[in-house]
Structure 1
């Protein structure tokens, strides 16, 4: 059993108590994290326990938590004590992004954005998801392996463009061309520290900024067109709702903030959902009995097993590894630890999801663990607390309708191929071979 590490005194002369951690050189810790993050973190958990201190690229010296009680305590800590993890995606998505906002501004923005992404509103988007999925399936080859990641990316992008941006015709085509390379560049840039000097044409920031300039121009025209639409009040896309919505004191979002928030919704709701879907196909194709049961259920109006499968996919193959906070007060107390200002505290989602104390036999892909029960505090694919992903309900709806439509339309061949390895795409972790499946035959009808 490791005893906590006592560091320097804080401003009140109380000891800073950090979790234990490796004494390896900083460079070695950083290289291990970059080269084999998941296995390194699993090793450190076995060696030091469910909380430890390490030094990693981009975030510096951090405390890693793999304990649901400590995670819950972190996520419920006052925003006067902890802010969003630093650096965060706001440096990529813009100062008007919900990722960049804190305190009252963050609460006001979430309140404004919540209605379009929940309840009856997203129910109305199901037809769009189904139509985009059916259109994509038409091009799938029969009898040959298919990488599902790319078609899932196209489906989720088109869904976002139609339901969030309200884009049509030329606007839709322009954004459909621009967004994929822009998201890829932004995802990679998010994993790199800000460089002190530009690197010229190969500078990742320069490449992303060029895409962002094109995006801002397109979105400015789209915002103007939407604001001048005589039927604005009849539209149900999220851009129209943003323009029409007002904060409690009566003011509206600025055009710059709308552009940043639309990009946030696109990045958060496009790549991550598509990647989760690719993992879902990779998983169910390796479990013949489950695949048969899911296919039978898809012919009905039920979705209990499909919902459980989505939850289990997100547990077993979380596409985002961490959710965290940055300490801005003199100190934050978490369990027996006192963590000083300037530290990031990261909840290791994959460690929680792989913990046998939280999930029986975690290496086994078993959707039945979620039948008739809701996920507990250790299930965190969308983060937690006041910064839990605002589009979680939308993402779940999209995964449910895509899976249902595919299972109703084609027959997926079961496989005994080895599980696909993890592949980092920057922010998200995807199946290494793209979530390959083979469509054996088209279903009748």
Structure 2
């Protein structure tokens, strides 16, 4: 009996974790919370592209900055890994795609994909151009101004119009409450739940109040859509969601639709607006690229623009991590064995800054993507079954905004140092808001 027990114990598979700092967990967590990018970069230099760290909210985490391991993680069965825990679902609701895993996630993703891809999104290009033109009428000419907030308004208006269709009183209210919801929700998503109530200063209280207003308005819009006798003639995303059916013929509930629409509104406008602010920040510091883009836009071309957007996403990734949570007893990842309960984070910013994958990574150079598709180390939208479902929509929106901007304005170049990275919670934005000086083009 003793021999059998010893043999069983000897064959037990034991964890094999990558190296990590020996500092107390509280110190590791503080560094991550206050200076996330710098902490992760320092640990990668010290321990290599795969290491372990203890992080508040996420617990024991394996960080990987290796494209081969990232691909292996993203293609691992959803019976073994699920979405990182906790995730944005705790803010957006149990009906959000962020909250779903396994078969439920696959079914919902199939349902949501058609409105955000292919011919459908081309119908929305005119909406994007209209919103930028409307917003730009109030921009100061010849005077520096930050572009982040204007781009936030543009992308919010775009997503509101494409999600809900015609504008009305409800949309005006949503336009007021969504930005503060995004700001508070982004912060809430990166900090642990506080076990005590903080009264009026509690961000959860402010978010919940706006969420209640959102739910009331959106439930009304959903009811209107369900009762619309011409629903099948509408091309807004809400109409498509109401009409969509799972394979078994069932439909999404009102609560699920409300959570998914909030997901689109929150996730679909801040990240795109922030990338656009970074685009303006980068282009004015690279006048040769800017001039070449203007020439291409005027000629009706698109190759350099596509490469430029790709390079902006590489050099200034708005989201710096994509993660999974281990639910299998043990996950083999490369040479490592990671036990159940661990989170695994793919460090997008480290991959994008790695000279082994991108030559001279500190140089802003769209030409690196001319005539070629990005390799597996380019991950601004994450990867695998949880790759951002709105990626195609976001690419279209950035292309139309930049094309319209360069058609209507001259961007004044600058020799000022690049803007610092500023954490808004989940996303990283230019520290000065992507300040720029514009002049109207008189030839258009």
Which TM-score bucket, shorter chain as reference? over 0.9
Unaligned 5+ residue runs, structure 2? Answer: 1-7
**Change over 3 Å in CA distance of 1:14–1:398 after alignment to 2:** same
8 Å contact from structure 2 (residues 81, 327) kept in 1 = yes
* Deviation of the 1:204 alpha carbon: 1.4
**Change over 3 Å in CA distance of 1:12–1:398 after alignment to 2:** farther
* 2:23 counterpart residue number: 24
- C-alpha distance in structure 2 between counterparts of 1:10 and 1:212, whole Å: 52
8 Å contact from structure 2 (residues 96, 263) kept in 1 = yes
* 1:253 counterpart residue number: 252
SS of residue paired to 2:346: strand
**How do residues 276-291 of structure 1 correspond to structure 2 at under 5 angstroms?**
276-291=275-290
**How do residues 4-19 of structure 1 correspond to structure 2 at under 5 angstroms?**
13-19=12-18
* Deviation of the 1:254 alpha carbon: 0.2
SS of residue paired to 1:188: helix
- C-alpha distance in structure 1 between counterparts of 2:9 and 2:71, whole Å: 24
CA RMSD of superposed structures (Å): 1.3
> 1:133 and 2:140 equivalent?
no
**Change over 3 Å in CA distance of 1:69–1:258 after alignment to 2:** same
* 1:178 counterpart residue number: 177
**How do residues 262-277 of structure 1 correspond to structure 2 at under 5 angstroms?**
262-277=261-276
**Change over 3 Å in CA distance of 1:18–1:413 after alignment to 2:** same
SS of residue paired to 1:324: strand
**Change over 3 Å in CA distance of 1:11–1:239 after alignment to 2:** farther
* Deviation of the 1:12 alpha carbon: 6.7
* Deviation of the 1:198 alpha carbon: 2.0
**How do residues 43-122 of structure 1 correspond to structure 2 at under 5 angstroms?**
43-122=42-121
- C-alpha distance in structure 1 between counterparts of 2:328 and 2:279, whole Å: 41
* 1:152 counterpart residue number: 151
Query: What TM-score do you get using the length of structure 2 for normalisation?
Result: 0.97
Unaligned 5+ residue runs, structure 1? Answer: 1-8
**How do residues 319-398 of structure 1 correspond to structure 2 at under 5 angstroms?**
319-398=318-397
SS of residue paired to 1:338: strand
SS of residue paired to 1:47: helix
8 Å contact from structure 2 (residues 293, 304) kept in 1 = yes
8 Å contact from structure 1 (residues 325, 344) kept in 2 = yes
> 1:193 and 2:192 equivalent?
yes
8 Å contact from structure 2 (residues 407, 441) kept in 1 = no
* Deviation of the 1:10 alpha carbon: 9.7
SS of residue paired to 1:18: coil
Deviations 1:223-273 (Å, cap 9, x if unpaired)?
111111121101001000000111111011000000000001111110000
- C-alpha distance in structure 2 between counterparts of 1:63 and 1:93, whole Å: 25
**How do residues 202-241 of structure 1 correspond to structure 2 at under 5 angstroms?**
202-241=201-240
> More displaced, 180-189 or 116-125?
180-189
> More displaced, 160-169 or 140-149?
160-169
* 2:291 counterpart residue number: 292
Deviations 1:103-126 (Å, cap 9, x if unpaired)?
111000000000110000001100
SS of residue paired to 1:272: helix
